Structure 1
């Protein structure tokens, strides 16, 4: 029988995440999530008590080390899962880091045994300015996360949308809804986009981070 330490030890070194903007990190593509993209927003940028990790990156030594360092610096964060396609090795990350996990209730059943698992239905406010919206279509429990912090157009201002697989890359700086073999319900996905437009504040967001694979667009 494996010990807990053996179960949570990463199998490979991997590449560390790369800083793409102040307080924002992009992880290398994860084979555990069909090559999807994971992002981290630092607590300092949000004015919150813990980082927000959007979707599971690959379970590598580099990623676990980085996240443990962040935990030591600012305390436990939150792993937000935008769809079942991005669950990856959620349980191993949670055991290694002690972070809480937040998922839309439709897909919580896919995470048996995960500790500190929290569910939400239609909408949820994780912290001031950090909100989630259920956007079914790509999968039954797909969701997006919108983060706003700081003063408009001032240093440290954040106004971003983490859209999961609701929008996928179609070219440099271009995202669009795409119907793929994994799409759960295309009409509901289009309806979710309309709902998202009405839910977002006026003139927002300033940038969008997709959970889809970026490939050469990275």
Structure 2
């Protein structure tokens, strides 16, 4: 979709052409919604998480959903929020959403240059706290600026990790790192996962919300225990893994 010569879209917003109708996200938990796979992000999955604890922010949009009337209307109805980008693979039509919603955009600093015309960028370096209970961490590997978001009470009162493409579903209840020909740096990716094991809380299971394609989960949206997924990894085999 070209972003030049804008005209009034069917929704009343200024876009290059009328937006497709689309379908709204589906509710996964009381406080969590999952958007349909977005072809602009290679079939990636975006999430909306309600965050009543954060001041002046009704929720977080994690990665960019498809640009359509249903998604835009859903987000407009939620009030002021914040966009969180877990990697360049999740950018999609960030500029268009930001122009319409006027929300700030959090992302790791190494990939901020990819969005030069987006206002409201708030880059971070290694770690950043969005507010009590919401932490961002730099996890390079899938891309130079890959990052994860940990929400301390989002998963049935316990923590939930939004992993972007750091961990991808491979079967029902299972997730693994998947190296592709587009991956940035495989050894750094594995080091990020090893560091993530130490960073995650150990006293309670942490749920996983991946930003990769979720088809392997067979209709499910979340994985219950990311620590078990990391503990089950065969590190020696992973170090020899070829791109798929």
Match of 2:167 in 1: 167
Q: How far off is 1:201 after superposition?
A: 1.7
Q: Gaps (5+ residues) in structure 2?
A: 220-244
Distance, in Å, in 2 between the alignment partners of 1:94 and 1:131 is 22
Task: Give the counterpart of 1:11 among 6, 19, 27.
Answer: 19
Residue 8 of structure 1 contacts residue 93 of structure 1 at CA under 8 Å; is this kept in 2?
A: no
Q: Gaps (5+ residues) in structure 1?
A: none
Which of the pair has more CA radius of gyration?
A: 2
Q: How far off is 1:10 after superposition?
A: 5.6
Task: Give the counterpart of 2:51 among 39, 43, 50.
Answer: 43
Match of 1:209 in 2: 209
Task: Give the counterpart of 2:89 among 82, 85, 89.
Answer: 85
Question: Per the alignment, do residues 10 and 85 of structure 1 end up closer, same or farther by CA in structure 2, a change over 3 Å counting?
Answer: farther
Q: Secondary structure at the match of 2:140?
A: coil
Q: TM-score, normalised by structure 1?
A: 0.90
Q: Secondary structure at the match of 2:105?
A: strand
Q: Please tell me whether residue 20 in structure 1 is matched to residue 28 in structure 2.
A: yes
Question: Per the alignment, do residues 199 and 216 of structure 1 end up closer, same or farther by CA in structure 2, a change over 3 Å counting?
Answer: closer
Report 1 or 2 for greater relative contact order, CA contacts < 8 Å, sequence distance ≥ 6.
1
Write 1 or 2 for the structure with the bigger share of helix. 1
Match of 2:194 in 1: 194
Residue 8 of structure 1 contacts residue 92 of structure 1 at CA under 8 Å; is this kept in 2?
A: no
Distance, in Å, in 1 between the alignment partners of 2:77 and 2:157 is 24
Match of 1:65 in 2: 73
Distance, in Å, in 2 between the alignment partners of 1:188 and 1:7 is 39
Q: Please tell me whether residue 102 in structure 1 is matched to residue 106 in structure 2.
A: yes
Question: Per the alignment, do residues 8 and 158 of structure 1 end up closer, same or farther by CA in structure 2, a change over 3 Å counting?
Answer: farther
Q: Secondary structure at the match of 2:136?
A: strand
Question: Per the alignment, do residues 158 and 13 of structure 1 end up closer, same or farther by CA in structure 2, a change over 3 Å counting?
Answer: farther
Q: How far off is 1:7 after superposition?
A: 1.9
Residue 25 of structure 1 contacts residue 41 of structure 1 at CA under 8 Å; is this kept in 2?
A: yes
Q: Please tell me whether residue 118 in structure 1 is matched to residue 122 in structure 2.
A: yes
Q: How far off is 1:38 after superposition?
A: 0.6
Residue 159 of structure 1 contacts residue 206 of structure 1 at CA under 8 Å; is this kept in 2?
A: yes
Q: Secondary structure at the match of 1:64?
A: helix
Match of 1:145 in 2: 149
Residue by residue over 1:165-184, the C-alpha shift from the partner in whole angstroms, topping out at 9 and shown as x without a partner, is 00001001110111112111
Q: How many residues were matched structurally?
A: 209
Distance, in Å, in 2 between the alignment partners of 1:62 and 1:108 is 27
Match of 2:222 in 1: none
